[in-house]
Each structure stands twice: as structure tokens, then as C-alpha cells.
Amino acid sequence: MLTREDNQRLTHVGPGTPMGRLLRRYWQPACLSGELPERDGAPLRVRLLCEDLIAFRDSEGAVGLVDAFCPHRRAPLFFGRNEECGIRCVYHGWKFDRHGACVDMPSEPAGKTLQGKVRLPAYPTAERGGVVWAYLGPKELMPPEPDYEWTRAPAKSLYVSKTFEHCNWLQALEGGLDTSHSSFAHNNFNSNKSEPRQRDRSPRIDVERTDYGYYYVSTRDLSEDGKYIRVYQYVMPAQQMRPNNVGWFGGSNEMPRADGHIWVPIDDTHTHVYNWMCAFDEKVQFTPEWIESRETAMGRGSNDLIPGTFVLKRNPSNDYLVDRRMQKTRNFTGIVGVNTQDFALQEGMGPVCDRSREFLGSSDKAVVAMRRLLLEALDANETGATIRGVEANTHRTVRPYDHIVPPGEDWRVIFEKELQAKW
């Protein structure tokens, strides 16, 4: 349970707030690369950490991320002309490059010094793994660009998608770090009775702190078959890496891989979730048909989204189309789609969950550990101390892994090489 004061510190992300300042010390996903498909193409609205911004791919192919409004008269740059390595406001023609410098001011007399004094707020960007990343913090403290294993995987062995969630980023992140809920919220009665997460629905959770956050181990007892061990990675501030080596029924997965999410605050009450899949080696390549089939099973396939958006058709406005008859006979929630089931529970907590009213158990160890790390990081950032997880070299070599470990065997020995990045 958190105090109301700590809950507020963890959930408010605007400029000048403690968490807002902390999150700005890390590179954050700003959009998918595919949202900016062409040079000199249409600008893209981006809202990130309570800031309204515009992204554009310039004539050289680089991405600019700038304030959404022209500094002249605050006209919206969304309607601007993206041309010749800059975004030009259509109100009076003032033009800015991706670094925020004013490069043309045609409405002003030639020779005036005003142009050199005007700047458009702009943030550094980097493209890795099909994602445009942005750094919104102090330039003198900018860390190395993101270098997770999945961002180094070849395109055919990587897939990244994005969804919109109607709630605060922290309760969404907590849902991802909660492993025991999969035995209930994602329980399909007629298909997975022999799946390890149904054979033992009360996993033992162990957390080990690291320089980048922590890894946590979920252990489920399968009796004479041994133990199902699942090692997750939590990379600060808001990324989870989850293994998918063991199939739904406990056998070998046809697509052994790591999956993950990054929860990115749009503002205090809305979140973008970046969902990635990365194959464990080059033998596994994702076909478009397989991707669509899996995304549909997750509830976020192409037909599950409101056209032109990242918003699920099943959402709070229609109670996620919950089917009470299905809930009695087919699955635990009566809701279609793993991702949709998660959203129903996380969004259903309200825009910002009141953690002062909760009662935690032993299955919540990973959630509690994450909150402690973030609170410690808030204090460290306020005092100028070192912040965990900022340096790229602390997380570039890690990956998650899971397998059924025979009786008497030590998972640490079996998993030692498998927990090391290979891309």
C-alpha cells in the first residue's frame, strides 16, 4: 500500500513534477517509425509526458520532434509544410529545422536580427527497432541511445505494435509485472487445463535487483514434471521483457521468442503501450500471417482497432463487449483477447488508481519492488545522485527466458547462457 503522497509522486508526469523530471532522464518511445513513412511527409501529432509536440521526417530522413505550436503566434504546426529539411508554419511562413533553429522568416524585413533570436523547442530523437525514441531531459545529462537486444534484431525477426490505454501509466505497468494474474484473467476453460500456469496458480515470486532495474523469477510447481521457471526482466523506468519459449500447453513453442511492453505516459490519465516481439535466433522469422493471427489472439489485431487509431474497439465505452455467457463456459473474464482482458482490469481501476486503499499479497512482490525502485530513483534525481537504469550498457545484454526444469535441477545453471542476449 502506498500513501496518497507517494501515489501522487509516482503517477503525475507533467513538466516540473518529480516523476516528470525522472522520466525525462530516460529515452522514451515517441511514435512508431511507420507513423512517419516518408521524407517530407505529413507531420504527426505526438503527446508525450503532458507535452504537445509535432514529429516530422525531414528531407534527409531524420526525425524532428518539436513543440506543436509556432513560437510566433502559437499557430498549430500540424498544418505546417514539411519541406526542404524543415517545418514551415502556414500562418506567416516561419520555418524551423529539426533542431528548432529558425531558418527562414519571410514575413519580416530582410536583415533583421529577430530570426537568430527565435527558437522552437526541439528534442533529440533516435530510431531503433522500428521506434522513434525521444529524450526530453537536460541535454548535459542525456544518456546513450536505446540499445536493447530487440532493437538490434533483423526486421524479419522483430515486430512492434502500439496501443492506446485509458489510464495512468503506472497501473498499466503494474499489470505487466504481475505474473500470477495470467492464471485467472487469461484462463480459457476449454483449452489450457494442462498449461503450467493452470497446474500451479500460485507462483512463488523472487526478485533480484540489478543495475538496470531487476529480474524476477516465477516458479510454478509441476509435481513429478519438475518446475516451470519463468525469468522476466524489468528495465527502468517502464519496460517489461517476458519469455515465450514454453508453449501454451507446456511443450516447445513454435515461435520461441521474447515479448515485451514499454508503457509510455501520454499524460497523467492516458498511456501508449509499445508491444514488441523478438525471435530468439535467426531461424525464427515472423510472417505477416502469423503476426496477424497472434495480434488477433491478443485482441489488438488490425480488425480490433478503431480504424486510423491505436484505440481498441472493445474499450470502456462498451464495457469491452463482455459476454456473460462466455464467462460461464469459455473463459474467466467473458472478454475476447488477452490484451483486451488486461485493459478492462487496468482501465477499470479508474484514470489514476488509489493505491492507499489496496491490500497486497506475496504474489505482488514484483510490483512492490518496482515501486520502491521508482521512489528511490525519484529521491536520487532530486539530489543529483546516480539513477538506476540510465546507462545503456547495463541493459543491452539481458533477455528473459522460461522452461520446465526437471526435478532436482538448478534453473540458474540451465538458464545461464539463455539469459544472455545473442543478437
Please give the Cα distance from 210 to 213 (Å, whole number).
Answer: 5
Nearest to 158 by CA among 167, 166, 149: 149
pLDDT of residue 249: 47
Exposure string for 319-329, b = 16+ CB within 10 A, e = fewer: ebebeeebeee
Cis peptide preceding 71, ω within 30 of 0: no
Q: Could you tell me the three cell numbers for 244?
A: 515465450
Q: Which stretches in the chain have pLDDT values below 70?
A: 190-194, 247-254
- Tens-place pLDDT, residues 283-338: 888 999 999 998 998 999 999 999 999 999 999 999 999 989 989 998 889 999 99
β strands within 97-226, DSSP E:
102-104, 122-123, 125-128, 131-134, 158-165, 204-209, 213-221
Residues 340, 344, 350, CA angle at the centre, nearest 5°? 145
Please give the Cα distance from 396 to 90 (Å, whole number).
Answer: 43
| Cβ atoms within 10 Å, residue 318 | 10
Can you list the domains of the chain with their CATH numbers? Answer: 37-134 (2.102.10.10), 149-415 (3.90.380.10)
CA distances from 56 to 42, 79, 163, 271 (A): 7, 12, 21, 21
Please give the Cα distance from 355 to 193 (Å, whole number).
Answer: 33
pLDDT of residue 195: 78
- Tens-place pLDDT, residues 140-150: 999 999 999 99
Nearest to 28 by CA among 37, 18, 20: 20
Checking DSSP bridges between strand 125-128 and strand 131-134, what pairing results, if any?
Answer: antiparallel
pLDDT of residue 191: 61
